[in-house]
Amino acid sequence: MNHRCPAILVAAPASGQGKTTIVSALARLHTRQGLRVRVFKCGPDFLDPFWHQLASGQPVYQIDLWMTGEADVRARLHAAAQQSDLIIVEGVMGLFDGEPSAADLAQRFGLPVLAVIDASSMAGTFAALAFGLQHYRPGLPWAGALANRVASEGHGRMLEQGMAPEHWMGALLRNPAVTLPERHLGLTVATELADAMERLDAAADALASTPLGQMDEAALQRWAVDFAAPEPMPPLPQLLAGRRVAVARDAAFCFIYQANLDTLRALGAELVCFSPLADAALPPCDALWLPGGYPELHAQRLGANAGLIASLRAHVAAGRPVWAECGGMMALFDAIVDMDGVAHPIWGLLPGSVTMQARLAALGPQQLELAAGTLRGHTFHYSTAATEVAAVARTARPGMAATPDKGEAVYRQGSVRASYFHPWFPSSPEAAASLFLPQEA
C-alpha cells in the first residue's frame, strides 16, 4: 500500500553551501511545532546525521542508490511516510555530483528539490543558477531555492528578482550564531557541543522568517509524495544468535551507522556498548567492534588506559574476533603520529603506526568481497598506515575487481581484522556476520 507524505530533498550547487544547517533548522522548526519529522542523509556521511537527529528527535539513516541500494531506500522512505508529517533528505556534494547523484535519488522517488545556494557574493546570478539547477535535467521535481548567507535584507530583495514567486523560499542572513562548527573530517559532532541545541534553535528562529519557514502543515502538502510499498523481505538468518558483540561508542569512536546496529541485532546478536575512554575493561563479549571516529584527538587518554589495553589483549589472546574500521584500526597500532610529527603510543595490538596528514588520503565508495558476500561502503581518512602486517584482501571501487595496489587494505593478525573501509552491514548481512564469527586459521 502506498503512503503519501510531504517530502523534500535539500541540495546545493556544491559542498559547503549550508545544506546541513538548513536541513537541521527546518527539522527543528517543525519538530518544535509538533510535527513528526524524519530526516535522511544521502550518501555515507556519519557527521551530519548527529545534527539531524538532535533537531528531529528521531533516528537518522543514510540512503544511497549504490551503497544502501534502491530497495533499502524504498523500504525506509515508505516506513517513514507512515509515521511522519514531513520527510527531509539532505543531498550530498552538488546536486548532480557523483554516480549516483542526489538528483538521481530525487528523480527515482519523486522528491522535490530545494536548492540551498550560498548567495554571499552574487546578485542577479542567483536566479540564473537556480534556473539552471531546476532545468538542467528534464523532469527533475522542484520545490524552489533558498538564498543562504545573505548580507542584508536589501541584498535579499536583489536575489529575489528574477525568481518565480512559488520557487522563492527566502533569504537567510549571514549569522555566526547559527553556523555549525567544523573540523578535519567535517562538522563537529553535535553531542560534543554544550550549546548544540541552542545553535539549532537559533537557526530555526532565523528560518522562521522566510517563506520556507512560514509554511505550515497544510502548505507543506504541495510537496506530498506517494511512497510505494517495498517488496517484503525475508527475515535474516540468525547467524549471530547467542553471541554478544561489544561496540566501542564514545567521543573517540562515534562513526556508527544506525542501520549497522539494527542489522547485527536482526542477525541475533546482543549488543553492549562501552567507552574505551572511560571504561577500564571490555564488557564480557564474544566479539568486538571498533568503529571509526577520532582516536587522534584522544590518543593520549586512550594510550593511558592500561586496564582496557590489558582487556583487549586478553580478548585477542582468547581468539575472539575483532573487527576494526578506520579510527578503530588506528587505535590498534603501536602509535598515532600527529600533524607535528609527535608519536603517541596507543594500544599496540597491531605492529606499526598511522600518521596524520593535512591532505585527504582517500575518499569514495568502496566494496569488499568476502567469502560470505560483498559488503558495500566507503572510505574517508586523513591518515596513512605503515605496518609489516600483510593485507589479506583489498577493497575496490564499485563495479571493479580488487587489485593488490589499489583500494583499502584489510589486515589480519590472529583474530583481528582491520581496515580503513567503512562497511554498510545491510548490503550483505551474511558478510557482516562473518566479521564477528571465529575464522579458520
End-to-end CA distance of the chain: 49
CA distances from 296 to 157, 246, 342 (A): 46, 21, 11
Collect all residues with Cβ–Cβ distance below 8 Å to 441 and sequence separation of at least 6: none
| Active site (annotated) includes residue 5 | no
Strand residue runs (E) in 32-189: 37-42, 61-63, 86-90, 113-118, 142-150, 168-173, 182-183, 186-187
Buried b (16+ CB within 10 A) or exposed e, 27-54: bbbbbeeebbbbbbbbbbbbbbbbbbbb
Nearest to 393 by CA among 375, 374, 376, 412: 412
Buried b (16+ CB within 10 A) or exposed e, 235-264: ebeebbeebebbbbbbbbbbbbbebbbebb
Give the torsion sign (CA, 125, 127, 128, 133). positive
What span, in angstroms and rounded, lies between the C-alpha atoms of 75 and 40? Answer: 13
| Three cell numbers written together for 92 | 550530498
What span, in angstroms and rounded, lies between the C-alpha atoms of 69 and 429? Answer: 14
In the three-class reduction of DSSP (H, G, I as helix; E, B as strand; rest coil), residue 295 is classed as: helix
What does the radius of gyration of the chain's CA atoms come to, in whole angstroms? 23
Collect all residues with Cβ–Cβ distance below 8 Å to 220 and sequence separation of at least 6: 6, 85, 86
- Among 5, 254, 285, 326, the active-site one is 326
What span, in angstroms and rounded, lies between the C-alpha atoms of 191 and 201? Answer: 15
DSSP string of 154-185? HHHHHHHTTS-GGGEEEEEE--GGGPPPEETT
Strand residue runs (E) in 326-421: 333-337, 343-345, 350-356, 362-370, 373-381, 383-386, 391-394, 409-413, 416-419
Q: Are 384 and 423 in contact (CB under 8 A)?
A: no
Nearest to 108 by CA among 247, 231, 9, 253: 9
Q: Are 178 and 202 in contact (CB under 8 A)?
A: yes
Q: Are 375 and 366 in contact (CB under 8 A)?
A: no
Catalytic residues: 326
